[in-house]
Structure 1
Amino acid sequence: MSVAVLIPARYASTRYPGKPLVELTGATGLAKSLVRRAWEAASAVSGVDRVCVLTDDERIRDAAQAFGAEVLMTSGAARNGTERCAEALAQLGPAPDVVVNLQGDAPLTPAWFVEALVAAMADPAVQMATPVLRTEPGTLANLVADRKAGRVGGTTAVLRGDGTALYFSKEVLPHVASLAAPPEVWHHVGVYAYRPAALAAYADWDEGPLERAEGLEQLRFLENGWPVTCVPVEARGRVFWELNNPVDVDRIEAVLKAEGIA
């Protein structure tokens, strides 16, 4: 399969304006922008034919081109990364078999997460897929702490028995009454793989009430009756966390330093 990884990067984030250009200091003391770290994570994935940053902002374009990324300019009308990927599809020339949306706020995404996702797309019945990760104690504690503090942090997924998604939420689902004996909670990893037809269908649908309430783009597929295949991935000791709020900068920098990531 031909695979293109697209990295949507929006400057005008509601929760954290200018987020793609926030600098994160790694283990060697070198500071790199969030979008650069996301691009480096995408570039480490094997079997990928093309990696592009998608943006509507000249500041992000200039910064990305300065570190060697290919940039595709999209309009400011895109409300989320999936819409931005659908818009960029026409700029890719011949459509790839699989488009991967690696969101620009997920620099800790290991290559094997994306590789597992692409492998799942080898099944022609799968139109759209996304990774999920069993939460380890520290991540679950962070999720619960964010909600108690009124912060919108990571996303959880509830799965059907066949591995497709029942629901995604920015609440911690199922409810965690006690961290001493928590239920199994799946942390949604903000990466998506689509077939071009799925992206085209998405662009034609209106935003639904659940997507609007949760602010989660993948819910548009569920609201329109399209299954979302959830691909369980293994952490292999790696801590996964996204940069959603300013408090996440310290969390991510701590992981970069602990794992020796430059």
Structure 2
Amino acid sequence: MSVLIVIPARYASTRYPGKPLVELTGANGVARSLIRRSWDAANAVAGVDRVVVATDDRRIADHVKDFGGEVAMTSDTCRNGTERCAETIETLKGYDIIVNLQGDAPLTPPWFVEALIDAMKADPDCPVATPVLRCDHAALNGFLEDRAAGRVGGTTAVFDTAGYSLYFSKEVIPYTGRKFAEGEETPVWHHVGVYAYRPDALTAYTGWGEGNLEKWEGLEQLRFMENGVHVRAVPVEAKGRAFWELNNPVDVPRIEAMLKAQGLD
């Protein structure tokens, strides 16, 4: 099965305008933009046929071309990354699996995406899949601290025994009522901002329009669930790698500290 990775990127982020061009300093002291680091993360994934950055912004497009990346220009009417992926495959046809590697997750390990692709290949009936990572005590406590401070950070997920998602939320679900100690297993799963779709699922997505849950939570994957499409949650392991998304300016030093701690340039 042929695989296309699309990295959606927009300049006009509500929470952090210009986010794709924000520079992050790695372990070697060299600063690279968020979109460049996302591009590097995509190209580290095995078994991928093509990687493109999908954007409607000329500043992002020019920057990507400057470092040798490929750009697919999309309209400014796309409301989220999934719609941008759907628009991209209107011209880049012929791929069996389309991966949406969101441009705000430069710490995404390649094996997260590889596990997602493997799950799609193993189950031809699966229309959409996304990785989930069990929170350790530090990640969960960070989520709880963000919410207590009124910040919207990472997304959490709950799913059934067959692996199908029941819900995603920017609140911390399930409710725990307390923090967790080091080494204590938590019941909370962090949703990793990567999706894999079949082409027909992407095409259907754009025809439904924004759903109520999608609108309130600001989570694009809920549109699939609101329209009866199963989203498979694929558990992945961190293998000692810290993972965090860049959602707010406060996340920049967090991610830079993780890059340095992990020796990532």
Query: TM-score, with normalisation over the residues of structure 2?
Result: 0.97
What is the DSSP-based 3-state SS (H/G/I as helix, E as strand, rest coil) of the residue aligned with 1:32?
A: strand
Amino acid at match of 1:222: M
Q: Distance in 2 between matches of 1:180 and 1:39?
A: 34
Amino acid at match of 1:254: A
What is the DSSP-based 3-state SS (H/G/I as helix, E as strand, rest coil) of the residue aligned with 1:114?
A: helix
Alpha-carbon deviations, 1:132-160, whole Å to 9, x = none? 00001111111111100000000000111
Map of 1:86 onto structure 2: 86
Contact 2:141 2:180 in 1 (8 A): no
1:135-154 equivalence runs, <5 A: 135-154=135-154
What is the DSSP-based 3-state SS (H/G/I as helix, E as strand, rest coil) of the residue aligned with 1:147?
A: helix
Map of 1:227 onto structure 2: 230
Q: Distance in 2 between matches of 1:224 and 1:148?
A: 32
Amino acid at match of 1:5: I
CA shift at 1:183, angstroms? 4.5
Amino acid at match of 2:114: E
Q: Distance in 2 between matches of 1:178 and 1:170?
A: 17
Q: Distance in 2 between matches of 1:108 and 1:136?
A: 16
Map of 1:15 onto structure 2: 15
Alpha-carbon deviations, 1:35-88, whole Å to 9, x = none? 000000000000000000000000000101111100000000000000000001
Map of 1:39 onto structure 2: 39
Amino acid at match of 2:150: G
Q: Distance in 2 between matches of 1:12 and 1:247?
A: 18
Matched, 1:99 2:117: no
**Which shows bigger deviation, 28-37 or 135-144?**
135-144
Q: Distance in 1 between matches of 2:176 and 2:260?
A: 30
Q: Distance in 2 between matches of 1:63 and 1:136?
A: 36
> What runs of 5+ residues in structure 2 fail to find an aligned partner?
none
Contact 1:174 1:183 in 2 (8 A): no
User: Residue 201 of structure 1 is aligned with which of 183, 200, 204?
Assistant: 204
Percentage of matched positions with identical amino acids: 66
Q: Distance in 2 between matches of 1:205 and 1:162?
A: 26
CA shift at 1:248, angstroms? 0.4
Map of 2:220 onto structure 1: 217
Q: Distance in 2 between matches of 1:30 and 1:40?
A: 14
Matched, 1:110 2:112: no
Q: Distance in 2 between matches of 1:44 and 1:234?
A: 17
Contact 1:143 1:153 in 2 (8 A): yes
Query: TM-score, with normalisation over the residues of structure 1?
Result: 0.98
Alpha-carbon deviations, 1:96-143, whole Å to 9, x = none? 000000000000000000000000001111110000000011111111
Map of 1:245 onto structure 2: 248
> What runs of 5+ residues in structure 1 fail to find an aligned partner?
none
Residues paired across the two proteins, number: 261
What is the DSSP-based 3-state SS (H/G/I as helix, E as strand, rest coil) of the residue aligned with 2:32?
A: strand
Alpha-carbon deviations, 1:163-221, whole Å to 9, x = none? 00000000000112111377400000000000000000001011111000000000000
1:160-171 equivalence runs, <5 A: 160-171=160-171
Amino acid at match of 2:193: G
Q: Distance in 2 between matches of 1:57 and 1:124?
A: 35
What is the DSSP-based 3-state SS (H/G/I as helix, E as strand, rest coil) of the residue aligned with 2:111?
A: helix
Map of 1:6 onto structure 2: 6
Amino acid at match of 2:249: P
